[in-house]
Structure 1
Amino acid sequence: MLELLKKDEFEQLYALMDDSFPKAEIRNFEGQRKLLEDPHYNVYVLHKNSEILAFFAEWENDSYRFIEHLAVNEKFRSQGLGSKTLQAYNALSSKPVVLEVEPPEDDMQRRRVKFYERNGFHLSSYGYIQPVINEGYESVPLVMMTYPESLNNEELEQVKNWLDQTVYKS
C-alpha cells in the first residue's frame, strides 16, 4: 500500500505539498528536495496508477517517528483515504509517532485535531513556536499530538530537542 517515494516523483509530490500547506509550513522546492538526501527523512506515498493519492513525510530516530507532512490529493479527499493511510503508516513501526498541529482555535484547526483523535492520536498541551522553515514566512504556533499513547512533557521536550537538532537544525 504505502511505498517510499521515488526520486522521479518529487515534482508531483511537491505540487501536492504546495497545494496542501501554507507556504510557512513547507520548504521551498530546492530545500524540500535536499531533504531526500537525509537518512532520517522518508516520504511514503500511496499511488493509483502513477498518481500520488496521499503521502507522509517523516523523520525517524531510534525512539520516535515524526510526521512532518501528511496530505491527501484534493481529488481523493472525503473518502476515508486519510484515515486508511494513517492506519497503514502507524502499522509500519511500533515506535511512538509525534506530529504537530496548530492549536485548535478555529473550525479548520479543530477538525484537523478531531481527525487525528479519531485515528488514535492524543492532543498534548505542549506548545511552542515552529522555527521558520521557508525564508520570508513567519513562524507558526504549534502543539504536539502523539500516537498510540500520550507522552509526558519531559518526553515531549526530548522530542522537541531532537526536532530542533534535525528537522529545524537550530
Structure 2
Amino acid sequence: MNVIRLRTTDDQLFPAFERLYRISFPEYEQRTFTHHAKALTAENCFINCYQQEDGQFIGFVVYWAFAEYIYIEHYAISDNVRGQGYGTLLLRELIEQTDKIVVLEIDPVIDEISRKRLRFYLALGFVENRFTHVHPPYQPKFNGHSLRVLSSGRELTEAEHQRFCQDLVDVVMVK
C-alpha cells in the first residue's frame, strides 16, 4: 500500500480525495475547496491518501499534528474496498507511529450506524470523553454541530480538551 501526502489541490490524487470526501460527509461537516487549499499550506496538516500497488484508491486520513496530540479531522475508506480491513489498518498504523494521544470526533450515538462506528473506534483502543463538544462551523451558512470526542488509550483531561477546542478555532478552522 502506498501513502501519498497531498500538498496542493493540483496533486494527482486530489480529485479522488475530493470525490470521496464529498460523498462521505454531510455538507455542514465539509471544508470548501478554498478552505482545503488553505489547510494544505499548514505544515502540521496532513492529507494522506492511500493507494493499492495497482493504483486503486483506498481512502484518506486528514489529520493535524500538534505538540501534545494528533487530531484526526476526516477519515474515509472507498466503498470499493470497505469491509476489507483497510480502515483498521490505516488507523492502527497512525496510532502506532506516534507516542502522542490521538483525538477524533464522531456523531452522537443515536442509531445502529452510529453505534457500529463507536464500536469500531473502541475496538481500536479509543475511549469516550465526557465533555460536551460543539465543532465550529466549516461554512458561514451552518452552525456548529455536536460531536463526541474520542481519544486513544485514555480520556483527555479538562486542560487537554480545552487546548483541543482552542486549536480547532485558532488553527484547524482558519479560513
Same fold (TM over 0.5): yes
Aligned-partner residue type, residue 25 of structure 1: E
In the superposition, the TM-score normalised over structure 2's length comes to 0.89
- For residues 117-132 of structure 1, the aligned pairs below 5 Å read 117-132=122-137
- The offset of 1:13, in angstroms, is 0.5
> Superposition pairs for residues 1-170 of structure 1, below 5 Å?
1=1, 3-6=3-6, 7-48=11-52, 49-169=54-174
Q: Return 5+ residue gaps in structure 1 as ranges.
A: none
Corresponding pairs, count: 170
Identity of aligned residues (%): 25
CA RMSD of the aligned region, Å?
1.7
CA distance in 2 between partners of 1:88 and 1:4 (Å): 15
Deviation at 1:2, TM superposition (A): 5.6
Mark the runs of 5 or more structure 2 residues left unpaired by the alignment: none
Contact kept, 8 Å, 1:127 with 1:143, in 2: the verdict is yes
TM-score (norm 1): 0.91
Question: 2:114 is aligned with what amino acid?
Answer: Q
Moved more, 52-61 or 25-34: 25-34
Secondary structure of 2:129's partner? Answer: strand
Deviation beyond 6 Å, 4+ runs, structure 1:
none
- Greater shift in the superposed pair: 58-67 or 123-132: 123-132
Structure 1 contact 2–85 (Cα < 8 Å) conserved: no
